[in-house]
Amino acid sequence: MGLKWIDSLDIAIELDEKYPDIDPTAVRFTELREWVIGLDEFDDDPEHSGEKILEAIQMAWIEERE
């Protein structure tokens, strides 16, 4: 089963592994959205993302990094 937009923690973990040198606090939502869609495990409608979802992913990524 692939990742969905609501799987913010799992997505954050994948992003952290794929982009270890990126500072998640400095990522723009447009960039973040493209990276999530580009994950091999991602399996959801790309159009179903919104600012709240991207913010949740970014916050989870920041927490994961700490």
Structural domain boundaries in the chain: 8-65
Q: In the chain, helix, strand, coil percent, each to 5? A: 65, 5, 35
pLDDT tier at 1 (50, 70, 90 boundaries)?
Answer: confident
The predicted-structure confidence for 26-40, as pLDDT tens digits, reads as follows: 999 999 999 999 999
The mean pLDDT of the chain is 96
Rounded to the nearest angstrom, the gap between the alpha carbon of residue 12 and the centroid of all alpha carbons in its chain is: 5
What is the CATH T-level fold of the domain 8-65, as seen in this structure?
Arc Repressor Mutant, subunit A (1.10.10)
The predicted-structure confidence for 16-29, as pLDDT tens digits, reads as follows: 999 999 999 999 99
C-alpha to C-alpha distance for 61 and 65, rounded to whole angstroms: 6
C-alpha to C-alpha distance for 45 and 55, rounded to whole angstroms: 17
pTM of this prediction? 0.94
